[in-house]
Amino acid sequence: MNKMSEIKFEARVKATGLRPKPDDLAMLEAMVRELDRAASMLRGPRSYAEEPLNAFRLKPA
């Protein structure tokens, strides 16, 4: 991404409608990186065709 068009974290938060204290921003930004890391673990070349659709409909043992 062009440096000029990068969205600053503060603006990204502001766009959500939240109004954190300026002191909270650094911690929040650090935690977003951790969230992104968790999300990256779920991105993968998985086929929808092979995906179980109803696995969470639990049945008795």
* Half-sphere exposure for 53 (CA within 13 Å, toward CB): 2
Angstrom distance (rounded) from CA 52 to CA 26: 40
Does residue 58 interact with another protein by CB under 8 A?
yes
Query: Segment 25-54, which members bind another protein (CB under 8 A)?
Result: 27-28, 31-32, 34-35, 37-39, 41-43, 46, 51-53
Report which of 38, 13, 37 is spatially closest to residue 25, judged by C-alpha positions.
13
**Rule CB under 8 A: which residues touch another protein?**
12-13, 16-21, 24, 27-28, 31-32, 34-35, 37-39, 41-43, 46, 51-53, 55-56, 58-61
